[in-house]
Amino acid sequence: MEYAKMLAILGSPGSGKTTTAIKLACALTAQKKNVIVVHCDPFTPVIPTLLPAGTAHDTSLGSLLTAPGVTQETILKACIPAGKNKYLGLLGYRAGENLMHYPKVTHDRAVELFVSLRHLADYVLIDCASILEADPASLVAAEVADGMLKIGTADLKGISYFQSHSQMLMDSRYQHGQHRMAVGNLKVGQDWEAVAGQYGGIDYFLPYTAELEKQGNEMALFEPLRSAEGVHYQMGIDRIRVDMFVSMEEKTKKKNNLKEKIKRTVAWMDKEKIRKSADGEENEFPVIIGKEDQEKSKITMGQGDSIPQKTTTYQKDRGLLEAADDIALNKEERAGEELPGKKQKKKKEKDTKDFHFPFSKSHGEF
């Protein structure tokens, strides 16, 4: 799919959609990206299950959705910092709230909020309510998001949930072509192949992890996973991050950077070869002959030709290019190393990038 800035996450009850939203947000912030996670569910407020009871939560998502005018400053004040993670902010309903505590949420107000959010962070993840059609904000999020991650379970309830919603999600308003399907809480022994057939194909698998369940019970979802099972789960999260959030421009840029390093390495080797020739030194660069040339040499010698094959200038250049490729690729793997002949410099720059707005315990301080 195309590069996404705003992703809606929809899942059946018990699929782990909220957990996925948090772990995906943490994976993005690890790349020094600013992320806001919006928990839309008004039936079971999520914020009280993620952060300690004493956490300041002055402005509810319900207030933002029903306010006469939503400004960026109002949204910034309503965002809750996610522990020590300075790149992550949360929005959601407060403990004890539901839709009955606020006036009716209109379509236009919800659109206004999500449009404003686009300008406040690098990425916006929207944790939609499972009862999608009953929550106006979740419905609008499904419309305005750049893509949707659907998460089901490998049981009959999960399959039944998406069967009842599939017709609605096929509507052109919800950009069905940008949807991806995942199976969450996949346990050992569950027939994932049969489930994939019921869902019409699966893009990602997120296995059940006891460590993850423990983190949820202890309000520690923002902490990294360390168990072997957790590593497999994190691999699934990373696949989602790369697939949905790494743009083609970034991928192309990385390839171009590698090509540029190869060119610089080849240019340096040419200069060294000329210098050594002028000084009368032997060329210490290995001459690599291609496989076709080696086979040709073997055939010629096998026919009784006792004259050894000379390495042509073309073969030497070709060998230098192949050697340069190997050097450049090895340099790519050893991050921090400089080109041969240059002294290695240690980076002592401190990354001072913060969230677009500084979170503080007394929200609203800028």
**Domain-by-domain residue ranges, the chain?**
6-246, 251-333
- Provide the CATH topology of domain 6-246: Rossmann fold (3.40.50)
From the CB of residue 89, how many other CB atoms can be counted at a distance below 10 Å?
Answer: 25
Backbone angles phi, psi at 73, to 5 degrees: -65, -40
Per-residue pLDDT reduced to its tens digit, 187-228:
999 988 899 999 999 999 999 999 999 999 999 999 999 998
Positive or negative: CA dihedral 149, 115, 82, 3: positive
| Region for residue 201 given its phi and psi (left: phi exceeds 0; alpha: psi -120 to 50; beta: otherwise) | left
Q: How confident is the model at residue 365 (pLDDT cuts 50, 70, 90)?
A: very low
pTM for this model (two decimals): 0.70
The mean pLDDT value of the chain amounts to: 79
What are the strands, taking DSSP E only, across the chain? 6-11, 35-39, 80-82, 85-91, 123-127, 147-152, 179-186, 204-207
Residues ≥6 apart with Cβ < 8 Å to 312 = none
Per-residue pLDDT reduced to its tens digit, 112-123:
999 999 999 999
Instruction: Give the pLDDT confidence score for residue 273 in this predicted structure.
Output: 72
Per-residue pLDDT reduced to its tens digit, 55-79:
778 789 999 999 888 888 899 889 9
Instruction: Give the pLDDT confidence score for residue 177 in this predicted structure.
Output: 85
**Encoding tokens for residue 338?**
């400089």
Positive or negative: CA dihedral 267, 269, 271, 277: negative
Among candidates 272, 279, 5, which has minimal Cα distance to 121?
5
Positive or negative: CA dihedral 332, 335, 340, 341: positive
